[in-house]
Amino acid sequence: MSYQIALSFEDGITRFVTANAYETVADAAYKSRINIPFDCRDGACGTCKAFCESGKYDGGDYIDEALTEDEAEKGFCLPCQMVPESDLVLQISGTSEMAKAGATTFEATITELSWFADNTAALTLAVDNRPDLKFLPGQYMNFAVPGTDTARSYSFSSGPSASELRFLIRTAPDGAMTTYLKERAAVGDTLPLTGPMGSFFLRDIKRPLLMLAGGTGIAPLLSMLEAIADGGEPVSAHPIHLIYGVTFDKDLVELDKLEHYASVIDTFTFDYCVADQESTAGNKGYVTQYIQSEHLNDGDVDAYLCGPPAMVDAVRKYWDAQGIAPTNFYYERFAVGSAASATAKAAA
């Protein structure tokens, strides 16, 4: 029996290591030449203290000075002592550079390039060493745009177990990736991808989920839904509701995938809305107009949002106006054509 441990560093880079039965996280990381912070290795100093985002483990032996009961209850842990009892996701104090664990670059090949409208591309890629490219649903990769010295970041819309990788790319006027996709890209081209990156990923589902997506911000949420549908960890008995907002009808993509997830995940429902008042959609306006009180569950809900900065601000104002704060609010802001998306977690 072995388990996958995702080590998520403060600079947004995630590395995966494998722990065998009865092996501590520290030993598994060491075996993979990843230097997460250590000192005593004996549960006495607390130097290795990390935060467990998801999974089960035996915390091992340690003294209160290294980890208090209160900290342990909140999810803090000591990698030098803990032994995994399932796959784990750990937030490690420090950067990947400090741990000599920089992101990995993969050579990907375009296997399909299709367009939903003239403004959103679906890019499917294959990598030779696919099993080595592990990622958490919700994370993204940095793309080196061929023929330029520019990088762009895109979230996976496919799940972690899919054999090929899929990304949704919104075009931007004169954008480096837009120009490449529209003028030069062809099946068979190779693209260097670096990652995985980001702290916007699906945690253990311990309460109802409210997912909010703006435009191509639907991509990481599709990846999460695929992971849930695959029945891997984490699985859910809790309601999951997604509200997807776009500006114009032509911006609506992957509704068939959402229908599919609604048919295979018993607890999943979704709605969508279009801001344009000329839209033919039943729901016009913005996502906050379609959040119902049952979706908020009196605040006992984990909210996941991926969308433009204005949407993040609007939703925050909405929580304030309602006087309800989700137990956890995980969000990722993106700007079309930007080189990197900011990711943050807020425990509201």
Q: Using CB under 6 A, list all residues that contact ligand FES.
A: 38-41, 43-48, 66, 78, 80
| 78 vs 202, beta carbon nearer ligand FES | 78
Least Å distance, CB 61 to ligand FES, is 10
Least Å distance, CB 95 to ligand FES, is 18
| 42 vs 230, beta carbon nearer ligand FES | 42
| 45 vs 98, beta carbon nearer ligand FES | 45
Judged by DSSP in three states, 153 sits in strand
Nearest to 135 by CA among 100, 98, 95, 106: 106
40-49 burial, b at 16+ Cβ within 10 Å, e below that, comes to ebebbbbebb
Residue 48 sits at φ, ψ, to 5 deg, of -85, 5
Least Å distance, CB 262 to ligand FES, is 45
**Residue 285 region by backbone torsions, left for phi larger than 0, else alpha for psi between -120 and 50, else beta:** left
| 40 vs 275, beta carbon nearer ligand FES | 40
Residues 6+ apart with CB under 8 A from 259: none
| 80 vs 228, beta carbon nearer ligand FES | 80
Token pair, residue 192, equals 């260097």
Least Å distance, CB 48 to ligand FES, is 3
| 77 vs 197, beta carbon nearer ligand FES | 77
Distance CA 18, CA 38 (A): 19
Token pair, residue 221, equals 């949420």
* HEC per residue, 205-237: CCCCEEEEEEHHHHHHHHHHHHHHHCCCCCCCC
Judged by DSSP in three states, 322 sits in helix
Least Å distance, CB 94 to ligand FES, is 13
Judged by DSSP in three states, 300 sits in coil
Name the residue with tokens 């499917």. Answer: 124
218-228 burial, b at 16+ Cβ within 10 Å, e below that, comes to bbbbbbbbbbb
Least Å distance, CB 31 to ligand FES, is 17
Q: Which residues, in sequence order, are bridge partners of residue 333?
A: 307, 342
| 67 vs 218, beta carbon nearer ligand FES | 67
How many residues does this entry show for the chain? 348
Least Å distance, CB 8 to ligand FES, is 18
Name the residue with tokens 């776009």. Answer: 246
Least Å distance, CB 165 to ligand FES, is 36
Least Å distance, CB 79 to ligand FES, is 7
Alpha helices in the chain (DSSP H): 25-31, 69-74, 176-179, 218-229, 255-264, 293-296, 309-322
| 41 vs 345, beta carbon nearer ligand FES | 41
| 10 vs 39, beta carbon nearer ligand FES | 39
